[in-house]
Chain A
């Protein structure tokens, strides 16, 4: 904390060894959005909101709309009027930053260029006076890690640098209140990581399980399921294209459909029965009520956004009658997708990948597989502290389903608690910002620019892998 730790290192040790700059910039470089912003100087007293206000989620993509207009990064969220047939180029593949040509362009336009950088909070004016925390997905290829180290330190030349496994940053968040435990830490003490935390990170390209012990990942327990939000969107797109309209080129729109309509079923076979098309014919009240919905597609010409409404099988005939009776005709030319079992069979593949023929365990099984290589003494602690981050955790019903299934397969003696932080998307960033306020810990983990210049990138790789 600021009061307990003055900052002498910045002044007197400059002569013999460069120390870490005071300002810390954190980038959680996700495949879909990058979460970036400056860490606060000191920890605001138990208020996550003010800290999170410094963090912005920027689409990590270069998009091409109809008419060959190109949008970079933050422009995608705001400037695009017509998102039909939008194409994306993403520098992050499978969760790892692969194409630095595109990534550099997005970073420069988001953080370095004063014309395009969104606000002053996001602008890195002088990298030499900034420490950067770069969060990466676990089990990255060493070649890609080396690329990241070299380009961050040699192209931009940050004054301090820390590359770490993204999910492990979540351990620095305050988890006791989330789980309803008594808060142990004293208000004035420096931030310390949660002792045992099992982080399930279900993102855009994959879903990972990372056991984190005192802020460090237990590498042997990290498991990955190659299904993420991208696969869900593509699967929904495929189903809808086969059954209704061809939406194969409409990735952006189908992603919005997924976000507003999809849910994780807590009783799969019951929901599947409710949406059976044979129910309609029998003349009795439709049990699909509440499950079957319409999604009205956005209309760029009329400037209308897409939205969801309950399905009414008689709607079309009602509208015709209304038009005949003299109402305006613009309701008739709206296009709607009827979503029945697509709403829950799509997220279901996270729990049962065998539904699409994938010979892999679902998320609850994967958690047990991860624990099976760890000492049994740790199982109760990890099972009682499961935290779910990433965009897919926002699917309604995801948390309930995961907790219920995990409860069934976990050992009966263990308490199972599955929680989601208030902001699951920016949770790793928030953890990183809390780590950054603990300057002692940060100094142990990060390297300075001088150290990089003296020792080179292979030393850096060894340092960040914990070998030094």
Chain B
């Protein structure tokens, strides 16, 4: 049962043209209101997870779990640098003739920032650069490098929109190159690709080889089927030197943009028993954790049901 309530409409305070209530989006599961809007029956609650929306709670639990896996020690511990008795002579010995500690060094050594702090700084700087518009980014660019517009937008854009960009550019490049270089394939591939030829000859026997290459130990046997279109292997030619130079001179992606994307295959995630690790065949109707059978379910119900949500 959904909870319907009359909300005061602030904008329509003066005029009476609008009614005194408004539609608001259903925010999904709210633990505070779970008692007011009970789930619609036991069995439907099991079959249809969207009714009792645990996905946000589950997402929170997963985030917490991943953070837990990322920890160095199970409990927080501050380990101080051990004090050395002979620190004074050692300092002078290693520093040698140099003068005292520079301000940069002192600042870095005293900094207690964690990686999270640095990452937040970086994200804030990127977001600011993006919101300041392209003029800012254009000013930043000459400091970095004179490159194509693609690298400019990638530097300033948010990570989510940044990743498809190189993709589209790469796709754009390839058809052009394919169409233009296909006729002169032999000359292009001999000049540019020495590495691709090594694996090309190990895998594509029927591919016609460019002439004038000596392969004494593993020379290919020529036959009349060499030019058979059915046996032809379609290996695209190696990219041009100019393209490789452009690729090599690109600036690095940001930390977040270089994270691996979602899986390519749309397979449903596997579920495991939260007690013994076997396939999770049945789902607890309270907390939606999986268990493998009645034995593990009993253990789960007795001890850990709802522990993570």
Asked if A and B bind, the verdict is yes
Q: Give the A-B contact count at a CB cut-off of 8 A.
A: 268
Task: Tell me whether A331 is interfacial, beta carbon within 8 Å.
Answer: no
Q: Please give the number of chain A residues whose Cβ is less than 8 angstroms from any Cβ of chain B in the complex.
A: 109
Assess whether A251 is in contact with B269, with CB atoms less than 8 Å apart: no
The CA-CA distance from A276 to B260 in the complex, in Å, is 33
Contact of B101 among A108, A155, A465 (CB under 8 A): A155
Which residues from chain B contact A275 at a C-beta distance below 8 Å? 278
The CA-CA distance from A156 to B96 in the complex, in Å, is 9
Assess whether B260 is in contact with A415, with CB atoms less than 8 Å apart: no
Which residues from chain A contact B239 at a C-beta distance below 8 Å? 375, 377-378
User: Looking at the complex, which of A20-28, A87-95, A308-316, A395-403 is the stretch in contact with chain B?
Assistant: A87-95
Task: Tell me whether B186 is interfacial, beta carbon within 8 Å.
Answer: no
* Binary per-residue interface labels of chain B (86-113) against chain A in the complex, 1 for a CB within 8 Å, 0 otherwise: 0000100010101001101100111111
CB-nearest residue of chain A relative to B77? A87
User: Looking at the complex, which of B25-33, B43-51, B197-205, B220-228 is the stretch in contact with chain A?
Assistant: B197-205
* Binary per-residue interface labels of chain A (429-464) against chain B in the complex, 1 for a CB within 8 Å, 0 otherwise: 000000000000000000000000000010000100
Which residues from chain A contact B260 at a C-beta distance below 8 Å? 223-225, 360-361, 365-366, 369
Which residues from chain A contact B102 at a C-beta distance below 8 Å? 150, 154-155
Which residues from chain A contact B269 at a C-beta distance below 8 Å? 354-355, 357
Assess whether A181 is in contact with B251, with CB atoms less than 8 Å apart: no
Task: Tell me whether A178 is interfacial, beta carbon within 8 Å.
Answer: no
The CA-CA distance from A352 to B270 in the complex, in Å, is 9
Assess whether B119 is in contact with A141, with CB atoms less than 8 Å apart: yes
The CA-CA distance from A70 to B118 in the complex, in Å, is 28
Assess whether B195 is in contact with A356, with CB atoms less than 8 Å apart: no
Assess whether B258 is in contact with A223, with CB atoms less than 8 Å apart: yes
Task: Tell me whether B62 is interfacial, beta carbon within 8 Å.
Answer: yes
Assess whether A380 is in contact with B69, with CB atoms less than 8 Å apart: no
Contact of B251 among A219, A376, A415 (CB under 8 A): A219
- Interface size for chain B: under 10, 10 to 19, 20 to 34, or 35 or more residues? 35 or more
Assess whether A139 is in contact with B255, with CB atoms less than 8 Å apart: yes
Contact of B105 among A64, A151, A341 (CB under 8 A): A151
- Decide yes or no: A87 and B249 within 8 Å by CB, A234-B68, A354-B269, A409-B264 being known contacts: no
Which residues from chain B contact A365 at a C-beta distance below 8 Å? 260, 263-265
The CA-CA distance from A249 to B279 in the complex, in Å, is 28
User: Looking at the complex, which of A9-17, A50-58, A96-104 is the stretch in contact with chain B?
Assistant: A96-104
The CA-CA distance from A357 to B143 in the complex, in Å, is 41
Which residues from chain B contact A230 at a C-beta distance below 8 Å? 69-70, 72
- Decide yes or no: A381 and B195 within 8 Å by CB, A155-B101, A216-B248 being known contacts: yes
Task: Tell me whether A337 is interfacial, beta carbon within 8 Å.
Answer: no
The CA-CA distance from A94 to B96 in the complex, in Å, is 33
Assess whether A341 is in contact with B278, with CB atoms less than 8 Å apart: yes
User: Looking at the complex, which of A235-243, A258-266, A318-326, A420-428 is the stretch in contact with chain B?
Assistant: A235-243
B-side interface mostly: loop
CB-nearest residue of chain A relative to B116? A93
* Binary per-residue interface labels of chain B (213-256) against chain A in the complex, 1 for a CB within 8 Å, 0 otherwise: 00001000000000000000111111100011001111111110
Task: Tell me whether A126 is interfacial, beta carbon within 8 Å.
Answer: yes
Assess whether A101 is in contact with B233, with CB atoms less than 8 Å apart: no
Contact of B170 among A62, A231, A375 (CB under 8 A): A375
Task: Tell me whether A74 is interfacial, beta carbon within 8 Å.
Answer: no
Which residues from chain B contact A354 at a C-beta distance below 8 Å? 263, 269-270
- Ordered by A's residue number, 10 sampled pairs between the chains whose C-beta atoms are within 8 Å are A94-B115, A139-B252, A141-B122, A155-B105, A225-B260, A357-B66, A360-B260, A379-B236, A384-B198, A409-B264
The 3 closest A-B pairs by CB, nearest first: A357-B62, A384-B199, A195-B195
- Given A89-B77, A93-B114, A467-B249, 8 more pairs with CB closer than 8 A: A62-B82, A224-B258, A237-B74, A243-B276, A355-B270, A375-B236, A377-B239, A465-B144
Question: Which residues from chain B sit less than 8 Å from chain A, CB to CB?
Answer: 58, 62, 65-66, 68-75, 77, 79, 81-82, 90, 94, 96, 98, 101-102, 104-105, 108-115, 118-119, 121-122, 143-145, 166-167, 170, 173-174, 177, 193-196, 198-200, 202-204, 217, 233-239, 243-244, 247-255, 258-265, 269-270, 272, 275-279, 293
Question: Which residues from chain A sit less than 8 Å from chain B, CB to CB?
Answer: 62-64, 70, 72, 87-90, 93-94, 96, 98-102, 104-105, 108, 112-113, 126, 128, 138-144, 147, 150-151, 154-157, 181-182, 194-196, 213, 216, 218-220, 222-226, 230-231, 234-235, 237-239, 242-243, 248-249, 251, 272, 275-278, 340-342, 345, 352, 354-362, 365-366, 368-369, 372-381, 384-385, 409, 413-415, 457, 462, 465-467
